[in-house]
């Protein structure tokens, strides 16, 4: 190959590369070429984003892009956690096509606080899994015990999750967005269930999960911790994100 041909070949390659780099990015294209919806997952108290991996896998198979948010749930008060999560959501999702949220337990409360403080233009739907929307009786017990070691392990946010009127859950406003609530009615925690009045999932009462203004409500045969690994709950979450309601009881 002559020197002039080499120069021409290199110039053509550089031009093609520059054209590719200059092409506008398409957010999360699906196999059909249409932009995909995004689902942001928030774990519960004392967990990490990996705690939501099973649900994340189901959502990805259903065609969603999934983003797991990590936050130090036992180290910071609720307002500081909200600020930290807000920065992550802005960084990952400000320019996404449509963004849904799914939160387990405390994660659901933080989603509510996040959306209350900063509405998103591209907001989709929200699902809360076992979130104590009216506070936790177990948090009341923990706070009343006033044990330094227990409070240090649980952290400041856990102590703010009680049932009193000025607790973090009870200060949150009713949702302006479509939100589905799933509560569990099975318990592998007999001590927790003994301390909680009424039907519960071992950590949160069904009554506390109910939320004024919710779009739909589902009681599932699941324990508080294990609901993250439930096939039927994963299917219900996907159905709600698509339709704005949970599947009828006879849906396979």
Q: Where are the domains of the chain?
A: 29-242
Q: Let me know if domain 29-242 sits in CATH 3.40.50.1820.
A: yes
Locate 23 and state its tokens: 């092409």
How much is the pLDDT for 18?
35
How much is the pLDDT for 15?
34
Could you tell me which residues are beta bridge partners of residue 127?
Answer: 102, 180
How much is the pLDDT for 9?
39
- DSSP secondary structure code for residue 228 in this structure: G
How much is the pLDDT for 154?
85
- DSSP secondary structure code for residue 100 in this structure: E
Report in angstroms the alpha-carbon separations of 25 from 28, 29, 142, 160: 9, 10, 50, 43
How much is the pLDDT for 19?
32
The CA-based dihedral angle spanning residues 171, 177, 180, 181, taken in that order and rounded to the nearest 10 degrees: 0
Could you tell me which residues are beta bridge partners of residue 219?
Answer: 183
How much is the pLDDT for 7?
35
Report in angstroms the alpha-carbon separations of 90 from 53, 83, 139, 245: 22, 11, 31, 27
Q: Which residues of the chain have pLDDT under 50?
A: 1-27
- DSSP secondary structure code for residue 165 in this structure: T
How much is the pLDDT for 32?
57
């Amino acid at each position: 190959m002559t020197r002039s041909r080499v120069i021409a070949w290199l110039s053509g390659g550089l031009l093609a590369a520059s054209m590719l780099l200059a092409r506008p990015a398409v957010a999360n294209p699906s196999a059909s070429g249409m932009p995909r919806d995004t689902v942001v997952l928030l774990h519960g108290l004392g967990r990490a984003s990996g705690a939501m991996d099973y649900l994340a896998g189901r959502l990805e198979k259903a065609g969603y892009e999934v983003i797991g948010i990590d936050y130090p749930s036992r180290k910071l008060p609720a307002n500081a956690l909200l600020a930290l999560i807000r920065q992550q959501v802005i960084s990952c999702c400000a320019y996404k096509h449509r963004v849904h949220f799914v939160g387990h337990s405390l994660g659901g409360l933080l989603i509510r606080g996040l959306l209350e403080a900063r509405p998103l233009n591209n907001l989709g739907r929200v699902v809360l899994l076992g979130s104590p929307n009216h506070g936790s009786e177990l948090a009341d017990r923990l706070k009343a015990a006033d044990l330094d070691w227990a409070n240090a392990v649980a952290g400041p946010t856990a102590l703010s999750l009680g049932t009193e009127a000025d607790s973090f859950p009870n200060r949150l406003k009713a949702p302006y967005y479509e939100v589905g609530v799933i509560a569990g009615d099975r318990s592998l925690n007999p001590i927790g269930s003994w301390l909680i009045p009424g039907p519960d999932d071992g950590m949160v009462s069904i009554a506390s999960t109910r939320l004024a203004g919710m779009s739909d409500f589902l009681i599932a045969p699941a324990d508080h911790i294990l609901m993250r690994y439930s096939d039927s709950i994963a299917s219900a979450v996907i159905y709600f994100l698509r339709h704005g309601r949970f599947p009828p009881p006879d849906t396979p």
